[in-house]
Amino acid sequence: MTDQPYDDETLEAARVLFARPVAFVMGAAAVAQLPGDDLPEVAFAGRSNVGKSSLINALVGQKHLARASNEPGRTRELNFFILNSALHLVDLPGYGWAKASKTTVKKFQNLGRDYLRGRANLKRAYLLIDARHGLKEVDNEPMDALDKAAVSYQIVLTKADKIKPAELEKVLAATREAIRKRPAAHPVVLATSSESGFGIPELRAEIMTTCEVRP
């Protein structure tokens, strides 16, 4: 039900890559604290509580690498993870509702935007959207910012196991149509479930191919 098929060889290479050692590097509270830009990296963005940390954990086959929380807005730094000493995975602060003061929310959301605009080694941003709700008005601002900054981004639907297949197909079709004329949006929309593992092999392959890394 994902858009783009991958051959078995690519899927297996991606599985092996994401089974390699992975570790938390640091949490950056300011752009000046970012690690070096010598490695390719991908970033995960989305509304608060959309499942960014859970998705990162599913990608690398670990339960507690990225800290997932039921409390929206807990991620307030740029959290960097390194995979196989060859690739950075970056968990960005969520946008939308967060249980924090407006000043604090603005601070960590601006941090994410500043990172996306200025990171030369960022190969792609993955914009996570809850499959149960699809794209909302609040998602337009980050997409506008990514388009303006010419940062390649790709929509990844999360929690796809929570709706029926026919409904998921409708959300996929609506999402494709919504991003069709957006200049920086990748046309392929992926659907995933961190709980069931649905779509995770394809997302691994997408990241591996985009960053041009191999196990």
Amino acid at 35: P
pLDDT at position 109 is 56
- Helix, strand, coil shares of the chain, percent, nearest 5, are 40, 20, 40
CA angle 93, 98, 103 (to 5 degrees): 85
Amino acid at 113: R
Q: Which residues are CB-neighbours of 167 under 8 A, at least 6 positions away? A: none
* Residue ranges of domains in the chain, CATH in brackets: 8-211 (3.40.50.300)
pLDDT at 21 over 90: yes
How many whole angstroms separate alpha carbon 159 and alpha carbon 27? 26
Grade residue 68 by pLDDT with cuts at 50, 70 and 90.
low
Of 99-113, 151-165, 190-204, the range with the lowest mean pLDDT is: 99-113
pLDDT tens for residues 112-126? 777 887 788 999 999
pLDDT at position 124 is 96
pLDDT at 99 over 60: no
Grade residue 183 by pLDDT with cuts at 50, 70 and 90.
very high
Q: Which residues are CB-neighbours of 9 under 8 A, at least 6 positions away? A: none
pLDDT tens for residues 26-56? 888 888 888 989 999 999 988 878 989 899 9
- Is 87 in contact with 120 (CB distance < 8 Å)? no
